[in-house]
Structure 1
Amino acid sequence: MSITFIDPMVVRSLNKSKLRKKILYYLYKIYPNATYLSEISRGVKSDPSNVLGCLKGLNGRYNGHFSLIELGLVECKEYHGMKLYKLTEYGKKIVELLIDQDNNVISSLRW
């Protein structure tokens, strides 16, 4: 078992935005494939401008320092003039840790 360092800024960013977390889970679901903005937007049922804000940051509403790309969780590649977004290997590990944590919390609950 390997230990993955989780940057506290990543934790803060994901705790502050459910949409960022949804985008990560969506990209994890289609990993290792990359996809374009409108497809992500449909997949997470959110407006493309909000998704772009989470991915890259936008003036005012979405801080670029906490964007998924800036945190190293998602990468953007240009292919024939089209921007494609893909989960990084670090992003994949973070999602797997989140899933594991959620499963541990759920299994510890007494019903």
Structure 2
Amino acid sequence: MSIVFLDPMIVRSLNKSKLRKKILYYLYNIYPYGTYLSEISRGVKSDPSNVLGCLKGLNGRYNGHFSLIELGLVECEEKGGIKIYKLTEYGKKVVEVLKDQDSDIISSMRW
């Protein structure tokens, strides 16, 4: 068993946004694969602009410093002009630590 350091900024960011957590859990469910923005949006039942804000940060509403990409939990790869978002290895470990605490969020999502 390996020990995972949870940066307090990550915990704060995820506790402030249920949508960030939902996105992380969605990407965890399809790990090691990634998917595009509209598919994530459908999976978490949220508007694509809100999902993009959680992933990358967006104007004043979503602080870029607390975005999933900036925190190192999600990465974005461009393939053929399409951006694919997927969980990083560190993101996977963070979800595995947090998922016991968040069983209510996980059970509310229908995969």
Normalised TM-score (structure 1): 0.90
Letter in 1 for 2:16: K
Whichever of the two has the greater Rg, that structure is 1
List per-residue Cα deviations over 1:48-85 (Å, max 9, x = no partner).
00000000000110000000000000000000000000
SS in 2 for 1:100: coil
- 2:107 is aligned to none
Question: Structure 2 matches for 1:32-43, cutoff 5 A?
Answer: 32-43=32-43
TM-superposed CA distance for 1:100, in Å, is 3.1
SS in 1 for 2:60: coil
C-alpha distance in 1 between matches for 2:100 and 2:90: 15
TM-superposed CA distance for 1:102, in Å, is 4.3
- 1:31 is aligned to 31
- 1:61 is aligned to 61
TM-superposed CA distance for 1:99, in Å, is 1.4
- 2:106 is aligned to none
Question: Structure 2 matches for 1:1-111, cutoff 5 A?
Answer: 1-102=1-102
SS in 1 for 2:69: coil
Letter in 1 for 2:96: E
Structure 2, unaligned stretches of length 5 or more? 104-111
Alpha-carbon RMSD across the aligned residues, in angstroms, is: 0.9
Aligned length, in residue pairs: 103
TM-superposed CA distance for 1:18, in Å, is 0.1
C-alpha distance in 1 between matches for 2:46 and 2:20: 11
SS in 2 for 1:83: strand
Identity %: 85
* Counterparts in 2 of 1:80 and 1:87: CA distance versus 1, 3 Å: same
